Amino acid sequence: MKYLITLLFTLLTITQINAQDATAILNKVDDNINSNTSITKSDMIIYGRRNQRTVTSVGYSEGKNKSFSEYLAPARERGTKMLKLEDNLWIYSPSTDRTIQLSGHMLKQSLMGSDLSYEDMMENRKLTEMYDAKVIGEETIDERKTWILQLNAKVDDATYDSRKVWIDTERYVPLREELFAKSGQLLKRTELKDVKRIDGRWYPTKMNYKDMLKDGKGTDFVVLEIEFDVEIPAYIFSKGALKR
């Protein structure tokens, strides 16, 4: 959950047409959402064709480049740990007592069968480095007035050629994001709901992440508990923590 929130919120600072507006909006989003560190306990609800399953995890993060997650439930996933440091991702599986580093094509695989891939968690660059942005309109979502920001890639190697982000005009919280292919085909949509005031910040506590090319209801992320700017021991962000 924390990865996605970070992905959506921390990277937003824009230039170009309506640059001042877009940049100001995104900076405020950044200020509202981001913290130096956070500890989040969340449920990931994965919807299948006939059933659904819930994976509970606790995640620690420091900035954009360091994060550590431990899966608590169900029993099958319990003890699985994941460490992200810069562009590297390691996974520890208790059943094999092995730590493996995910790279290359392995990053494209689904995270625990969800609509999210490991690669979706690995984007470290700021959106401002990759996209030109402008405010293209306003829209009301769940009775909240939003600005619609259009982001177009300005570098060759952006994963998505364009994005649209809907930002709450009062709370400076994204309520929706859509990711597009070069052809303009909508690929993924993220909906953020249940925005709550936590430690002086407006924070969405429920998120649905959906691969729009697939049937199904996507994957839900629900924040159960979250703490901002707490001290996290340095060893948490080390490979040694995976086997602890």
Q: Site for other proteins (CB under 8 A): which residue of 185, 194, 199, 244? A: 185
| Nearer residue to other proteins within complex by CB, 73 or 213 | 213
Q: Site for other proteins (CB under 8 A): which residue of 50, 96, 183, 229? A: 183
Q: Site for other proteins (CB under 8 A): which residue of 214, 229, 231, 233? A: 214
What is the Cα–Cα distance from 132 to 119, expressed in whole angstroms? 22
> What is the β-pairing status of strands 219-228 and 201-211?
antiparallel
What is the Cα–Cα distance from 164 to 176, expressed in whole angstroms? 8
Q: How far is the CB of 25 from other proteins (least distance, A)?
A: 25
Nearest of 66, 13, 8, 57 to residue 37 by alpha carbon? 66
Q: How far is the CB of 145 from other proteins (least distance, A)?
A: 31
What is the Cα–Cα distance from 127 to 13, expressed in whole angstroms? 7
Residue 104, interface with other proteins (CB under 8 A)?
A: yes
What is the Cα–Cα distance from 235 to 244, expressed in whole angstroms? 10
Q: Site for other proteins (CB under 8 A): which residue of 215, 229, 231, 233? A: 215
Residue 48, interface with other proteins (CB under 8 A)?
A: no
Task: Give the distance, in angstroms, between the CA of residue 138 and the centroid of all CA atoms in the same chain.
Answer: 23
Residue 182, interface with other proteins (CB under 8 A)?
A: yes
Residue 196, interface with other proteins (CB under 8 A)?
A: no
Nearest of 183, 186, 179 to residue 164 by alpha carbon? 179
Q: Site for other proteins (CB under 8 A): which residue of 17, 72, 106, 232? A: 106
Phi-psi region of 174 (alpha: psi -120 to 50; beta: other; left: phi over 0): beta
| Nearer residue to other proteins within complex by CB, 74 or 216 | 216
Binding mask 132-161 for other proteins (x = CB under 8 A): ---------------------x--xxxxxx
What is the Cα–Cα distance from 7 to 179, expressed in whole angstroms? 13
Instruction: Reduce the DSSP state of residue 213 to 3 states and report it.
Output: coil
Q: How far is the CB of 158 from other proteins (least distance, A)?
A: 6
Residue 96, interface with other proteins (CB under 8 A)?
A: no
Q: How far is the CB of 181 from other proteins (least distance, A)?
A: 4
| DSSP code of residue 95 | T
Binding site for other proteins (CB under 8 A): 104-106, 153, 156-161, 179, 181-183, 185, 187, 211, 213-216
